Amino acid sequence: MLFRRMTGWPTRDWTSPFEELDRMRRQMDLLTGGLSRGFLSEPAAGVFPLMNVTEGKDNYYVRAELPGFEAEDMDISVTGDTLSISGERKLPVEDEKARYHRREREAGRFSRIISLPAQMDTGKVEAHCTDGVLTVILPKAEAAKPKQIAVKTS
């Protein structure tokens, strides 16, 4: 109390001298964000669906887990170096008299745009959805493929 009156610093109960340091440490953790969670953890879940982008020699592969989606409820489009996916999941209506024990699956819309490091050949993009995993194969544009340069010795 005396401390508060003297400095005007907002403190709660001054029960232990380390409490203030602890609070400051927690606020610093919030500011620095990812550092406190470890180097190997992925970015926090942001937008549905979570996607993995991998790069092969000639293609980019974008995968998302979309179980239970029908192909016609999904809308995929590609422009330049961005891929945009949107759609809606509908859960099939079950029996009227069903009594639910658990309900963990969700239905709803999603929409996500992701940009890729290089230009893509938009004419040759393929997408297929098997077993609830959507895979989009995006061939790299010719200009973006790495070219081997031969070193001439003269």
Partner 1 sequence: MAEIESKALQAKEKAEVTTPAEQTRPGLVFTPAVDIFETDKEITLLADMPGVKARDLNIDLREDVLTLASDVKSPEGADEVDVIREYRTGKYYRQFTLSQVIDQSKIDAELRDGVLRLRLPKVEAATPRKIAVKS
| Distance linking the first and last C-alpha atoms of the chain | 84
Element (H, E) at 5: helix 2-7
CA-derived radius of gyration, the chain: 26
Q: Is 146 in the site for partner 1 (CB under 8 A)?
A: no
Of 127, 119, 125, 122, nearest to 143 (Cα)?
119
Among 80, 113, 117, 128, binds partner 1 (CB under 8 A): 117
Q: Is 10 in the site for partner 1 (CB under 8 A)?
A: no
Decide whether 20 or 76 has the Cβ nearer to partner 1. Answer: 76
Q: Are 140 and 60 in contact (CB under 8 A)?
A: yes
Binding characters for partner 1, 13-42, by CB under 8 A (x = yes): -----------------------------x
> What is the Cα–Cα distance from 140 to 136, expressed in whole angstroms?
12
| Residue 66 region by backbone torsions, left for phi larger than 0, else alpha for psi between -120 and 50, else beta | beta
Smallest distance from partner 1 to CB 20, Å? 33
Decide whether 110 or 121 has the Cβ nearer to partner 1. Answer: 110
Among 47, 79, 82, 145, binds partner 1 (CB under 8 A): 47
Binding footprint of partner 1 on the chain (CB under 8 A): 42-57, 60-61, 63, 65-70, 88-89, 91, 93-111, 114, 116-117, 129, 131-133, 135
